[in-house]
Structure 1
Amino acid sequence: MTTPLLPRREIGRSGIDASLFSLGSWHTYDRMDFGDAVTMLRAAVDRGVNLFDVGVYSAPGAPPVFTDVIFSAMVRAAGIQRDEWLLSSKLWLEAFGDDGFRPQLENALMRVGVEHADLVILGDLRRDDLALRDLVLDLARLEGAGLIRAWGVNNWSASSIQTLIDIAAAEGVSGPQIAQLKYSVSRRSIPDGAPFARLWDQGLTLQASDCLEGGVLAGKINGDRQIGRDPGDIRERIIADVPAFSDLASSLDVSPAQLGIAFTLTHPALTTTLFGASSIDQLRANLDAAALVDRIGIEELRRLVEPFWADRGVVDPEGP
């Protein structure tokens, strides 16, 4: 029997359709055997995965990171043509200066070996000296030059995103199409809250990230890998919930990772869920998570995982 391809959903109102699952590269490909990575990439594309988040994750003074360069070689070795996949790249506000985003974008494209990014995601808003209008207009110039097709933001507040939308409308240019947000059974307050609901109603869509808390919800609690920020300082609560969460997964005849990934598919504004995989077996298991939603339904799944909502009443739904 042929395995059906993943469904695709539109990124905002961009006209670009992304696969229900997208594959990330954060500290992944540099930990894998290259041949295994190529095989996994080919399998992902053959299942219908078409969106790949490829960023350069290294801070000044930190060791250099090459996952994006490795990814470019993986694409060539797997024989994947450019029109078969979408590139999502990161743009960092810390490097935004007089020349705008173009220098870092061109560097990112060079490292991946392509001429344009289908989607760029602006990193966290940590600077208070930036005029948001400058960002919107600079991104419009990049789109006009054919270097990007659409853009979104990573972990911005609802009010800041609304400002971007309003500026873009006033200037007659494209605004943000997608918000990449932490979204899991444990961290739900922001994507499920009223401030972001108003953005979803305007056509913004969600890319769920950190859906397994860096592997913690999948049972990897030994702390031997890098995990993202911990808004609300709830990670110890999440770790404490792992045994009960694993028991629930077992009762549903799925793995904890599959249960965690399946939950993200219940959000009404979701375009795609981003995860990393370091083996072909892990990839296939993660992609099969969608079957759980079909089997028990959205409402029942959300009811079952309600006890694991760790940031309820702790994190402001407005966002950072």
Structure 2
Amino acid sequence: MDAGQVPTRRLGANGPEVPVFRLGSWNTWDRMTPERAAELIATAVGRGITLFDVAHYNFGPHAENAMTDVIFGKAVREAGVAREDYLLCGKLWLWDYPAASFAGQLRTSLDRVGVDRADLVVLGDFFGPLDLRAVVGEVGELMRDGWFGAWGVNNWAARDVWRAREIAIAEGVTPPSFAQLKYSLARRSVPEGEPYGRLFAEGGMGLQASDVFEGGILAGKLQPTRKIGADPGGIRDRIRAAYPRVEAAAHRLGATPAQLAVAYCLTHPPVATVLFGVSDLAQLQDNLGALDLLTRHGDTLREALTDLWLDRDIVHPDASWGTDGPTD
């Protein structure tokens, strides 16, 4: 691999090889001009960041008629990136399921982006009863029809993922390959907890780290003006107050806070890819520096950052929660 290229990891036992960095869509592509979006996409793909998280955000709390997916589709074409040269990860929402079928959601989402298939899909978080057998059944039908090749879940409790996995295996459906979880320097209880640990070790699942910057706070934007994700455990003010310690730790390690936030997640073996959004090339280049930090310090990062685990004994390791989509 070229030294300037982003490395790849396997996304769970049944998932594809993916770059360790993944660009997200919520409040990303609509935060810049079309020209800048195309330039950013071309630069990212040139460095090997070929996985994009793109969704139609118009369900439940996301019912804002956001255009970020439409903008992404136009920008990737303007950048001259062929469909076969990148991976698209869509999202299927459970807020109105089954009234809003996965097939209908996916057709609408893909039409908005201007493509005919996804590579991966993430099933959004849910509250209350859910017919997992029906969910797994429709996922299986869509996979058999070639709409996507692998699927995962977003911030589900581990026990629900185990159940979905058991149903999938019993019914001959490819089981979920990955979980997309809130994971950061401050929020470790769920992704590093024993319930999900068993899914990673015994269930063959990979981990996608999301919300790694806590809406920008862990990168130094202490008062985000845009809509950001949910606050499980009510610890956001503690995270904000801890930022000077993050900054000091990054300085000691010869890095920026953003690089430290990304590199920390990559030290956790189940992590295949880290999801983040950027609004300009400078932010992208800064985040790419996390790879150098990881090379220089590796697992010593975990030892140096123990005191920044802020949801410890506050959020249960098998918790599920609602989020406002892939943040950062």
TM-score range, shorter chain: over 0.9
Q: Deviations over 1:120-145 (max 9, x none)?
A: 000102141x2101111100000011
Instruction: Tell me the residue number matched to 1:96.
Output: 97
Answer yes or no: is the 8 Å Cα contact 2:60–2:95 preserved in 1: no
After superposition, the Cα gap between the structure-2 partners of 1:15 and 1:308, relative to the gap in structure 1 and judged at 3 Å, is closer
Q: Deviations over 1:8-61 (max 9, x none)?
A: 112212251111100001111112011111111100000001110001223469
Answer yes or no: is the 8 Å Cα contact 1:219–1:242 preserved in 2: yes
The AA in structure 2 aligned to 1:5 is: Q
For residue 278 of structure 1, give the secondary structure of its aligned residue in structure 2. Answer: coil
The AA in structure 2 aligned to 1:303 is: E
Answer yes or no: is the 8 Å Cα contact 2:57–2:64 preserved in 1: no
Answer yes or no: is the 8 Å Cα contact 1:116–1:147 preserved in 2: yes
Instruction: Tell me the residue number matched to 1:9.
Output: 9
Distance across 2 between alignment mates of 1:76 and 1:195: 41
Q: Deviations over 1:184-216 (max 9, x none)?
A: 010000010111110001210100000010100
Instruction: Tell me the residue number matched to 1:84.
Output: 85
Instruction: Tell me the residue number matched to 1:205.
Output: 206
Can you give the 5+ residue segments of structure 2 that lack an aligned partner in the other structure?
321-328
After superposition, the Cα gap between the structure-2 partners of 1:218 and 1:165, relative to the gap in structure 1 and judged at 3 Å, is same
Distance across 2 between alignment mates of 1:63 and 1:154: 20
Distance across 2 between alignment mates of 1:99 and 1:259: 40
- 1:291 CA drift (Å): 1.2
Can you give the 5+ residue segments of structure 1 that lack an aligned partner in the other structure?
none
Q: Deviations over 1:51-99 (max 9, x none)?
A: 1000122346954200100000111111101111010011001232267
Instruction: Tell me the residue number matched to 2:326.
Output: none
Answer yes or no: is the 8 Å Cα contact 2:207–2:271 preserved in 1: yes
Q: Deviations over 1:134-171 (max 9, x none)?
A: 11110000001111111100000010000011111111
Q: Counterparts in 2 of 1:106-125, with a 5 A limit?
A: 106-125=107-126
Q: Counterparts in 2 of 1:256-271, with a 5 A limit?
A: 256-271=257-272
Answer yes or no: is the 8 Å Cα contact 1:30–1:70 preserved in 2: yes
Q: Deviations over 1:242-276 (max 9, x none)?
A: 01111111121211111111100011111100000
Answer yes or no: is the 8 Å Cα contact 2:15–2:177 preserved in 1: no
Instruction: Tell me the residue number matched to 2:137.
Output: 137
Instruction: Tell me the residue number matched to 2:325.
Output: none
Distance across 2 between alignment mates of 1:269 and 1:193: 12
Distance across 1 between alignment mates of 2:218 and 2:60: 30
Answer yes or no: is the 8 Å Cα contact 2:133–2:167 preserved in 1: yes
Instruction: Tell me the residue number matched to 1:72.
Output: 73
Instruction: Tell me the residue number matched to 1:316.
Output: 316
Range 51-60 or range 114-123, more displaced? 51-60
Distance across 2 between alignment mates of 1:23 and 1:145: 27
- TM-score for both structures, normalised by structure 1: 0.96
Instruction: Tell me the residue number matched to 1:248.
Output: 249
The AA in structure 1 aligned to 2:175 is: G
- 1:3 CA drift (Å): 4.6
Answer yes or no: is the 8 Å Cα contact 1:94–1:127 preserved in 2: no
Distance across 2 between alignment mates of 1:44 and 1:80: 11
The AA in structure 2 aligned to 1:227 is: I
For residue 214 of structure 1, give the secondary structure of its aligned residue in structure 2. Answer: coil
- 1:290 CA drift (Å): 1.4
After superposition, the Cα gap between the structure-2 partners of 1:136 and 1:110, relative to the gap in structure 1 and judged at 3 Å, is same
After superposition, the Cα gap between the structure-2 partners of 1:304 and 1:76, relative to the gap in structure 1 and judged at 3 Å, is same
For residue 232 of structure 1, give the secondary structure of its aligned residue in structure 2. Answer: helix
Distance across 2 between alignment mates of 1:29 and 1:113: 15
- 1:5 CA drift (Å): 1.3
The AA in structure 2 aligned to 1:26 is: W
After superposition, the Cα gap between the structure-2 partners of 1:120 and 1:180, relative to the gap in structure 1 and judged at 3 Å, is same
- TM-score for both structures, normalised by structure 2: 0.94
Answer yes or no: is the 8 Å Cα contact 2:18–2:273 preserved in 1: yes
Distance across 2 between alignment mates of 1:223 and 1:70: 23
Answer yes or no: is the 8 Å Cα contact 2:215–2:224 preserved in 1: no
For residue 111 of structure 1, give the secondary structure of its aligned residue in structure 2. Answer: helix
Answer yes or no: is the 8 Å Cα contact 2:54–2:90 preserved in 1: yes
Instruction: Tell me the residue number matched to 2:170.
Output: 170
Distance across 2 between alignment mates of 1:173 and 1:94: 23
Count of paired positions:
317
Answer yes or no: is the 8 Å Cα contact 1:3–1:47 preserved in 2: no
The AA in structure 2 aligned to 1:80 is: V
For residue 110 of structure 2, give the secondary structure of its aligned residue in structure 1. Answer: helix
